[in-house]
Structure 1
Amino acid sequence: MAQTNLSHRRTHNLLLISKLLNQRDHASPFTLVLDTLEQTAKPLIREYLRRSRLSKTSTIFLAFETIIKPRDVDHFIECYDESKSPERIAREVMELLARSGSKRHLIIIDSLTTLASISTNPASRLNLTAFLSSLLQPPQQPQRAQQAQEQPQISLVGVYHTDIPLPSSPPSTTSTSYLPSPLSLLSYLATTIITVHSLPILLAEQAARARSLVAPAYGLAEETEGVLIGFKPKRDLKLEERGLVLELEHRRKSGRGVLEWYFLPSTTKAQQPSSGPHAFREIITLLDDHPLFRKPKEDENVDQQLSGMTFELGLTERQRLEREGVVLPYFDAQKAGGGGEGGRILYDMGVEDDFDEEEDEI
């Protein structure tokens, strides 16, 4: 039973992450990626761009902190210039979407933290929700053209640096104390939230738990003066130790949430085939299938032995027939009065009942 559940979960969740990374069927209009100094989201962004190139998806990169145009990017918009307002950036994106003949578009924002810091200043008049919504709107076309062709699918992927503090908003006449933080607002708007974790740090935490020790803290969590990045992995790592861990939270249209952990191996350019059938081969796996996180066989055997000892809710055909043949006592008393007349309690005195009529009268 446990092995069957794991196999079903593996098939279902691997198909889900493949849809999200390949942007198939418009699975996630807005994906929020959370990273830290210990583990950046750049490997995940490179994987998005690689899959977009293979699926012939047009990519637009909004660079708030990236100076050099990344590989496999079709359109690169420099947003770090102070003269460029968010409205101007949105207009440039709409112009690129209107000129592009592709049916699928992927917009990547390398730093939502910059936009969040701008939105905290009331003088900027930046509405973060309205700005992101304007990027997801398809370009306006004539009515005849809209009927002739389908609307393009636009997906947005934004990276938010969780360890960068936002500037405090200046005091103003309008109270902003009840407004949610930019991170809470982005988490509410996102249909998918991916948190990247460092594999060496997770392995160190796992080793500490195995020895019943407190999990170590690295980087800013150490609260040590002058320490920004506290853990540096070794250079001579094994193949299974190279990569990053993804914590996925996906919200379906029905409202149901899916939580899963994945492992994305880091492959070099020489290991990545640019064409051929191997280029479309899925490289991401569940974290439970990783050799360093896989359960020992002894634990799996124990789970299989205990799987048949739980209470079974299902009934066999014989048990179902016996249940239908059971006659409950005083069952007809519930039907005698009919609806609206209340219920009656019928009780027959038995020999073992000790009832004294004189004591009852007193």
Structure 2
Amino acid sequence: MAPASNMVQYQRHAIQLISRVLNLRTNASPFTLILDDLNQRCSPLLSEIIIRALSRKTNVVVVSFESARSHPSIHHIPAYGEYTGGQLLTSIEDSIKTTKESLVIIDSLHDLVHEKNIDMGALFNLVAMKYASTLIGVYHQDMLPIPNPINAYAPPTLDVLKFMATTILTCKSFAHVLAIKAARERSLPEPAHGLLQGAEGIVECLEANDPRGIVLEAEFRRKSGRPETETYFLRSSLESDYNAAIPGMTFGTLKHEFVVLLSQVPGYNNKVSEGAASAAEDDPESTFNLSLTEKQKAAREGVVLPYFDAQKGEGGEGGRILYDMGEEDDFDEEEDEI
């Protein structure tokens, strides 16, 4: 185990990585890819990012395929209308070209690529390269992949997005993560959730979208290409986490970082995780009593093992065999002399 000082440094470094992404620090992550599904939607994560962006007076632009207008401080672009791909890119550029720092959120990259036929390279060059802003895109993992009609050998859209992203955040339900951990501790097969179950009619499991918080499996891409992976827990924000908003600001600044490593969460770090107790109730009960009584324990301690006396001898005598002849033994003197 690493020394305590090294562990503290490791935790501080890991929290700093995710904090830079959530707080939109300069050059922290030009393109952040968020992966979610019906078992854990990314709405809590996006809400937290938007609040932090508005608290820093960042221009927030939401290109929406799935949601209506949410907050008056957000520049909302309804992409589900009659916009073509070129018109949509023009609207995005018009909303960020007059500001110093912007955040562009695409709530469905699947629809952006397949419905509007927008090239991700062109969008990235526009937002991250030309205007030095941050691009965040959401991709739903339970969407069926659509083959490329022009090039059958083209890689899937999700693979291209993962290749381009500088940070990948995968959303998991906290309850499902606890269930998987409980299964691992008992050497049982990990439970599958949602579409992975393969059960007819099941697309969202029980305990999906756990209200206690959201688990984030993060992969940070360094400029050298070496990735760093960590798993975090993000709870819902409270009023006490932010300072009071000053005049002219929508939200106050963040007081302290409340994103923690998953290993630091008490409900996850317990020796017996949540869900293991209920799993123990399913153990088959044996019809045999495998425990020993006090009398049986005393009898077991009194048993002399073979060659036990030989082990008490002095040096050089260890391992000698002690044998006492009985009445039924036939002693042959001539054979003994040979």
TM-score with structure 1 setting the length? 0.68
Find 2:133's aligned residue among 154, 157, 171: 154
Deviations 1:255-286 (A, max 9, x none): 22111111000236x56546268833211011
Is the 8 Å Cα contact of residues 107 and 156 (structure 1) preserved in structure 2? yes
Structure 2 equivalent of residue 194 of structure 1: 169
The CA distance in 1 between the partners of 2:253 and 2:124, in whole Å, is 35
1:210 counterpart letter in structure 2: E
Is the 8 Å Cα contact of residues 49 and 72 (structure 1) preserved in structure 2? no
Find 2:126's aligned residue among 131, 134, 139: 134
Output the aligned Cα RMSD.
2.4
Structure 1 equivalent of residue 85 of structure 2: 86
1:77 counterpart letter in structure 2: I
Deviation at 1:29, TM superposition (A): 0.4
Paired residues for 1:1-362 under 5 Å: 1-67=2-68, 69-71=69-71, 73-81=73-81, 83-100=82-99, 103-118=100-115, 124=117, 126-138=118-130, 153-170=132-149, 176-232=151-207, 242-267=212-237, 273=242, 275=244, 279-294=254-269, 296=271
The CA distance in 1 between the partners of 2:26 and 2:233, in whole Å, is 23
1:92 counterpart letter in structure 2: S
Residue 163 of structure 1 aligns to a residue whose secondary structure is coil
Is the 8 Å Cα contact of residues 173 and 208 (structure 2) preserved in structure 1? no
Structure 1 equivalent of residue 301 of structure 2: none
The CA distance in 2 between the partners of 1:206 and 1:252, in whole Å, is 29
The CA distance in 2 between the partners of 1:72 and 1:195, in whole Å, is 28
The structure-2 alpha-carbon separation of the partners of 1:129 and 1:295, relative to structure 1 and needing over 3 Å to count, comes to: same
Query: Any stretches of 5+ residues in structure 1 without a counterpart?
Result: 139-151, 297-362
Identity value in percent: 34
The structure-2 alpha-carbon separation of the partners of 1:73 and 1:228, relative to structure 1 and needing over 3 Å to count, comes to: farther
1:155 counterpart letter in structure 2: T
TM-score with structure 2 setting the length? 0.72
1:22 counterpart letter in structure 2: N
Is the 8 Å Cα contact of residues 148 and 154 (structure 2) preserved in structure 1? no
Residue 283 of structure 1 aligns to a residue whose secondary structure is coil
Deviation at 1:295, TM superposition (A): 6.1
Deviation at 1:72, TM superposition (A): 6.8
The structure-2 alpha-carbon separation of the partners of 1:27 and 1:262, relative to structure 1 and needing over 3 Å to count, comes to: same
Query: Any stretches of 5+ residues in structure 2 without a counterpart?
Result: 246-251, 272-338
The structure-2 alpha-carbon separation of the partners of 1:11 and 1:75, relative to structure 1 and needing over 3 Å to count, comes to: same
1:85 counterpart letter in structure 2: T
The CA distance in 2 between the partners of 1:204 and 1:256, in whole Å, is 31
The CA distance in 2 between the partners of 1:251 and 1:106, in whole Å, is 19
Instruction: Write out the 4+ residue segments of structure 1 that deviate beyond 6 Å after TM superposition.
Output: none
The structure-2 alpha-carbon separation of the partners of 1:228 and 1:244, relative to structure 1 and needing over 3 Å to count, comes to: same
Larger Rg: 2
The structure-2 alpha-carbon separation of the partners of 1:278 and 1:107, relative to structure 1 and needing over 3 Å to count, comes to: closer
Deviation at 1:133, TM superposition (A): 2.4
Deviations 1:115-136 (A, max 9, x none): 23337xxxx5x43322332233
Is the 8 Å Cα contact of residues 61 and 73 (structure 1) preserved in structure 2? no
The structure-2 alpha-carbon separation of the partners of 1:88 and 1:137, relative to structure 1 and needing over 3 Å to count, comes to: farther
Deviation at 1:200, TM superposition (A): 0.3
Deviation at 1:290, TM superposition (A): 0.6
Is the 8 Å Cα contact of residues 199 and 244 (structure 1) preserved in structure 2? yes
The CA distance in 1 between the partners of 2:72 and 2:45, in whole Å, is 14
The CA distance in 2 between the partners of 1:129 and 1:282, in whole Å, is 33
Structure 1 equivalent of residue 290 of structure 2: none
What is the count of residue pairs matched by the alignment?
Answer: 265
